[in-house]
Chain A
């Protein structure tokens, strides 16, 4: 019976079983959070930090995995997990407010003080620094942390509050609605035989959210034809003439953006979005060749990156992956043909560390990768999805979605986890508000402010990133033409910059996080895509006009906000 119900709901819509489980008397809960990922743990931790919640609500978090592995996570010094996230200042502030941030190991986090973003085709480039923040100068644009460091911190914070029950190594098998008169509360059947009857069921259960299926909430979206390849990279420390390793780099290649995110003086994290066959070939590479490919992808002209990609793919498909010697030969040939001097910043040929003055423009590119931490090369399919609603109704009443259960986003702006944290902040505020007015926290009325605060915000960010991805990944002829001559790329990067810098501010002083910026970025990109065709027809003489309005808009906006 259990498994029958389970398969029923995994297939899609609600299964409201009419049979009761004779085995177990339901135990009553006020909040059941399904999922102990960053979003679920952050919600538990945020609720725990409220005295009112601790006094009035019985909260249980259910996680299929083993949380003690996270709690006891203690990686050897100098090694890093491959799942990292940039925590924006708003998220940072939220976590400080709940007290959770104190439990995140600071030595394993790294500030991002500057960003270098450039276009792979035109090489149009834009530089960001924390001081540019549209609202107020911040000391950092964001802070990089391993997801595990954050999750462990949240668990440590939670360990102070015995009121919150953590049930791990337990799966949610099925969810049905109770039949009590005047009830209709969710009954959550766990793999250990327990049944929880809950006032509010929170789906923090990731992209495949069983809670979302139970609630009958449809999700709109698609998989990008792109995988995100991640890895932990090692490199020499920057020398004393250079700024510390606090600069993030991102290059928009037609296959997808490649990003280099600093973790320490000698380690950084890679997120390389690329076509699935290329991702598979990259994962199969010898680590030294992998490191070389990363270096080249940040430096070589796009045509040669494409060429190397192709060589790699052919070799991979032929079952004879590119050897280090072959790779070097190709690389040298490519560099020579572009007249790249082996001592210049554009060369991927490794120089002995501390060989005196760094070459001119060295800071335009990330440090040369010397090795890859074993076992850290992995890839994830990237998708766009947005639930039709965050609150369940009717047979799915008393359910609410947060984090990846509600939305998944392209990682190019490093916002996925931050959106989830913003959801959690809004939902816990909403719960506390309802409590303080004697409301039923599972009711639609009580949850509405949460959806109102988050849905449109998330949607703007999701579509901005989606449009950016599509624009840069576009091989449509007019778009590529426009980019190849550098038309308007700067404008569009400007919009992106505006968006990122606005979300780099601090929430409490400026209202909703970065919303205006993302709206501008989305509009800018949309405008760009629409305009390229016209630009081509009209000729490049007037190209500068297109999109200038946007830049102005952003500038006005940031000035307005500075007042």
Chain B
């Protein structure tokens, strides 16, 4: 069993160093490092490009296709990310259905495709593993990443899939587009209140300024819309598994891959949104001082169960919920 996998999920493409598992070949490692030259948030690091891939040359295609096979090799570097993805989607789907019914018990909720017709943003989309699922579930999806390579990889992968190639996906009404940009720039471009759902998975632990990153993501959410995050808690267990074991002891990943101080604990996210307002006059995203109501925000732990070969969503309030990998959901007040 890979220890690192226990506690470590996916790596956002936007993240600056090697992924958590040692790439299999030197060439692959070089390719990866080359592509991860931008850190997050990296407003200055990328050169805004036209979003069509028309400027890409043949050499680049070869280069990206090599990287693409790394991102999309389910047995490779990002294997855990692929395994984790259904669990993340399950959480997203569950919260959407639950909240829709919360708003109106008699609502005709599409339980299978609750994203149908919704504007969805995936911040730090990487190779597009989550974005593709969101689009298939009916989301009008935009995946953004600060790494130009990742956007090329994601676009190329989607182009091979006829269900994603067409702008409108079958009966689901979903669509998928990618753009090389950061959350901050997108906010400047689109203005606030633009998306029904904003997701940013396994990104927070790699950003330099989580407060401003969260602020940008939060602003992009429409009133009444949702923000989904996933990251790693700053706990002794997480330190032990992701840094001490994986980096220092076993050298699964290059030392320095993780910075313990960047890990964010669930209650820190909760605190952030208790005091966070979208505007001067608006109300806080999380109100009251007691236990948080499930209609405002929720934290769920996620754990890899090796003998089942899959990630599972831990029960609400499980002791382990805050132990390591977790999902976080918060809803923007309607009267923001």
Q: Does the CB pair A448–B309 fall under 8 Å?
A: yes
A residues 329-351 near B (Cβ < 8 Å) are: none
Within 8 A of A (CB), among B82-139: 82-83, 85-86, 89-90, 93, 112, 132-137
Nearest chain B residue, comparing its CB with the CB of A197: B162
Q: Which of A146-154, A438-446, A464-472 contacts B (4 or more CB under 8 A)?
A: A438-446
Pair A30/B74 contact, Cβ less than 8 Å: no
Q: Whole-angstrom distance between the alpha carbons of A393 and B85 in the complex?
A: 20
Q: With CB as the reference atom, state the residue of chain A lying closest to B82.
A: A445
Kindly state whether residue A374 has any CB partner on chain B within 8 Å.
no
Partner of B89, one of A180, A185, A437, A449: A437
Given A181-B61, A182-B68, A182-B159, is A438 in contact with B83 using a C-beta cutoff of 8 Å? no
B112 contacts A445, CB within 8 Å?
Answer: no
A30 to chain B: closest residue by CB: B163
Q: How distant is the Cα of A444 from the Cα of B83 in the complex, in angstroms? A: 10
Minimum C-beta distance from A132 to chain B (A): 34
Say yes or no for A317: interface residue by CB 8 A criterion: no
Q: By the criterion CB–CB under 8 Å, are B74 and A444 in contact? A: yes
B160-A182 in contact (CB<8A): yes
Do A183 and B160 touch (CB < 8 A)?
A: yes
Question: Is B157 an interface position by the 8 A CB rule?
Answer: yes
* Residue A286, interface by CB 8 Å: no
Q: Tell me the count of chain B residues lying within 8 A, CB to CB, of chain A.
A: 36
Q: Are B160 and A437 in contact (CB under 8 A)?
A: no
Q: Which of A420-459 contact B (CB under 8 A)?
A: 434-440, 443-446, 448-449, 452
Interface of A, secondary structure class, is mixed
Contact indicator B162/A182 (Cβ below 8 Å): no
B68 touches A56 (CB 8 A): no
One of B133, B309, B310 near A438 (C-beta < 8 A)? B133
Tell me the total A-B contact number using a CB cutoff of 8 A: 73
- Summarize B's interface: helix, strand, loop or mixed: helix
The answer to the question of A192 belonging to the interface, with a C-beta cut-off of 8 Å to chain B, is no
With A440-B161, A452-B309: A182-B86 Cβ-Cβ less than 8 Å? no
Smallest distance from the beta carbon of A274 to chain B beta carbons, Å?
43
Q: In this assembly, does A212 line the interface, its C-beta being within 8 Å of a C-beta of chain B?
A: no
CB proximity of B336 to chain A, nearest CB, Å: 28
Q: B160 and A445: CB pair below 8 A? A: no
Q: Could you tell me if B132 and A440 are in contact, using CB atoms closer than 8 angstroms? A: yes
Interface contact A438-B137, CB-CB below 8 Å: yes
Chain B: minimal CB distance from A35 (Å): 24
Query: What is the bound-complex CA distance between A443 and B127, given in angstroms?
Result: 15
In the complex, what residues of A have CB within 8 A of residue B319's CB? none
Q: Which A155-185 residues sit within 8 Å CB-CB of chain B? A: 180-185
Give 1 or 0 for each of B287-322: 1 = CB within 8 Å of chain A CB.
000000000000000000000111000000000000
Task: Say whether A2 faces chain B, with CB atoms less than 8 Å apart.
Answer: no
Is B133 within 8 A of A185, CB to CB? no
Q: Is the pair A56, B172 in contact by a Cβ cutoff of 8 Å?
A: yes
Q: How far does the alpha carbon of A87 sit from the alpha carbon of B117 in the complex, in Å?
A: 45
A28 near B: Cβ within 8 Å?
yes
Inside 8 A of B90's CB, which chain A residues have their CB? 437
Bound-state CA distance A416–B228 (Å) is 47
Q: Mark B9-28, 1 if CB is under 8 A from A, else 0.
A: 00000000000000000000
Structural contact, A181 and B65, CB atoms closer than 8 A? yes
Cα of A184 to Cα of B161 in the assembled complex, Å: 10
Q: Which residue of A has the minimal Cβ distance to B169?
A: A56
Interface centre among A180, A183, A393, A436 (most CB of B within 10 A): A436
B190 within 8 A of A: no
Chain B: minimal CB distance from A49 (Å): 15
**Most chain A beta-carbon contacts within 10 A, residue among B61, B135, B160, B309:** B160
Q: Is A25 an interface residue (CB 8 A)?
A: no
Tell me if B267 is interfacial: C-beta within 8 Å of chain A. no
If A437-B86, A443-B82 touch, does A199 touch B161 (CB 8 Å cutoff)? Answer: yes
Contacts of A444 in B (CB 8 A): 74-75, 82
- Ordered by A's residue number, 8 sampled pairs between the chains whose C-beta atoms are within 8 Å are A55-B171, A181-B159, A182-B68, A183-B160, A435-B136, A437-B90, A438-B133, A440-B161
Given contacts A199-B161, A439-B85, A445-B83, 11 further A-B contacts (CB under 8 A): A52-B112, A181-B68, A182-B153, A182-B160, A437-B90, A438-B135, A438-B136, A443-B82, A444-B74, A445-B85, A452-B309
Q: A interface vs B, CB < 8 Å?
A: 28, 30, 52, 55-56, 180-185, 199, 393, 434-440, 443-446, 448-449, 452
Q: Report the 9 A-B pairs with minimum CB-CB distance, sorted nearest first.
A: A438-B133, A183-B160, A438-B136, A182-B157, A438-B137, A182-B156, A182-B160, A28-B162, A444-B74
